Structure 1
């Protein structure tokens, strides 16, 4: 095929790289171990997991203001589950609103629509492979559309770097991709080195993390030490309450949590319009409201008012407690190096007080993204 792919198992603005339409063959091995060879850089691709864990933010960093020109279709996740982010991103790139919605793999994926579109590839997170390989992948490949897997979910440096570099190669944006990679490694490795030194003389604190998406009345997911937020927290110096209890993620038994009495509690928030009691973080958040919503978890849940982390938070001055908030969209993506900084501060607040995760996130936006940074992304009660 003239543009095509052969596969075998095995901020601001656009970058200075050559246009994706320039004829130059590219080759790489994706996160699933599949080798891809394109006769020229891909011009358009359909994407999944736009809210986080997919290609959207990396593509925005690679293409800047012209990112919409390279997305043939996308899932509705960003718009549905990151409402404030979507609003801000559309303000920066209004054409994003016109990109066709193609549903989600395993749910309502518009296979016929994607095949009929000008997509040359579909970019999927590795988490979707089990479902996609038995459903849409064979049909996409048969139609001449490449299926490329990326992996930000594993939260390893290797997975992040490989995914960014592969997307850079795929779109002919290698130079820009390398700039993104170097930013990511600089911040993440700095945290890694300092935490490793601290762990020589300090114990890992026991940390409970929960996705605070539904308010105090319903327990959200937590994590073990090796998946998503739990993996970030573990590398940042913590041990998760979910380790040895959860297989990747799930709800912690309330009695088990009370018995564990974690030293630190981290709630992840976002803007979930259908859940007014959820913890609000992001572009439209403010500290007073975030604190109010987070405090309700301890005031309304049985036994939570006796947790040590909450008692220390009540007795400490504002910004000195042991309850922390972070935006849920800041994991499993290329700018989660800022999340490593914040969670390292959660574990070692005095020793790592000089880190500034908000400044790191702002810098990423200013250097690479065509969207204006604002809001509340990290907070200590």
Structure 2
């Protein structure tokens, strides 16, 4: 990730947003993040979301009535981020009435239910809990029914693909100005990190433990893509990269004790999702009080072996809300990682201000809670 790439992407966003609104009197074409040229109807009033958590992206564009176009969505939002879903349900009870077109896996997606909802548009992600580009049968069935599908990406390569994804949605929904306002704030926040890291050659070793406490094994991590790209962009070296050939895998605590990380970072999900799972779960997210977040992190760091990591003993252990990496607000996580990895370079950086400027400003729901915490 370089500043040059950032400027290129910003230019690409402007070009995409400036595409002609119509290809004919009845339709128009867009190019999605998968590089597919898709013909859309002139008016998009009914949407099906291939991931429920995409409502946060739609809400950036339709803040006054964020659910008015959503007629169907996958069930991942309620299952995987129940704290956030509860705040949305409190503010917009109609979310409960949106038709479920699947659960939390791509194979659970129902083409039949989707077609029955008669959507003007289906929005998928390149990867995640809904169908991706490799689900060719699903795509063929929807296309045969005359339903256009576009791909966005806030997960595989979040920093690169968030700008064109939001520009694409702004074009599809006729919300160019709203998309541009968000992209301006997002780009300014990202550029602050990239500019400050120019000329910084030190790359501290960072170990990221993924969704701490979801399983009994220590320590789940990410080798390539997704969160790994964030570590690199924030000026760190992802220790799991040479150890995990794919996206995710396990790094043993014995390895970490022998090859000590300079910085330990755990990702965390919310309090309701912690019920019935392994001990040592870090709890962060919407509705989570600060004292619960701190105590849960302290308990997670007290696990056998983890407590003996130098980063834990010297106060260079931190935790961040996992769902920053599944939506358009990933630049908040970039600011946190950069400050934790290079505290001297970013001594004057306040991630709380980033949260306000890039996330809370563009969401219609009051997402109060605790989104990160540090070692006690």
Same fold (TM over 0.5): yes
User: Which SS does the other structure have where 2:302 is aligned?
Assistant: helix
Per-residue CA deviation, residues 184-224 of structure 1 (Å, 9 max, x unaligned), is 10101111111224x14xx1111111123436833353113
Q: Could you tell me how far 1:297 is from its partner in structure 2? A: 3.0
Aligned to 2:74: 75
Aligned to 1:318: none
User: Which SS does the other structure have where 1:300 is aligned?
Assistant: coil
1:337 corresponds to which of 328, 331, 341: 331
1:186 corresponds to which of 178, 185, 188: 188
2:242 corresponds to which of 244, 262, 271: 244
Q: Could you tell me how far 1:357 is from its partner in structure 2? A: 1.5
CA distance in 1, matches of 2:329, 2:359: 9
Q: 4+ residue stretches of structure 1 with deviation over 4 A?
A: none
Q: 8 Å contact 2:318–2:340 — kept in the other structure?
A: yes
CA distance in 1, matches of 2:138, 2:248: 26
Larger CA deviation: 154-163 vs 138-147: 154-163
1:116-265 equivalences in 2 (<5 Å)? 116-127=116-127, 128-133=131-136, 135-155=137-157, 157-197=159-199, 199-200=200-201, 203-214=202-213, 217-219=216-218, 221-224=220-223, 226-246=224-244, 247-265=246-264
Tell me, which stretches of 5 or more residues in structure 2 are unaligned? 1-24
User: Which SS does the other structure have where 1:144 is aligned?
Assistant: coil
Instruction: Check 1:273–1:24 CA distance in 2 against 1; reply closer, same or farther (3 A cut).
Output: farther
| Residue 326 (structure 2) pairs with residue 323 (structure 1) | no
| Residue 339 (structure 2) pairs with residue 305 (structure 1) | no
Q: Could you tell me how far 1:109 is from its partner in structure 2? A: 1.4
Relative to the length of structure 1, the TM-score reads: 0.84
Q: Could you tell me how far 1:24 is from its partner in structure 2? A: 7.3
CA distance in 1, matches of 2:180, 2:115: 31
Relative to the length of structure 2, the TM-score reads: 0.85
Aligned to 2:290: 287
Q: 8 Å contact 2:262–2:311 — kept in the other structure?
A: yes
Instruction: Check 1:297–1:373 CA distance in 2 against 1; reply closer, same or farther (3 A cut).
Output: closer
Per-residue CA deviation, residues 325-377 of structure 1 (Å, 9 max, x unaligned), is 10000114211111111000011113212212222212334432110131111
Instruction: Check 1:90–1:220 CA distance in 2 against 1; reply closer, same or farther (3 A cut).
Output: farther
Tell me, which stretches of 5 or more residues in structure 1 are unaligned? 1-22, 313-320
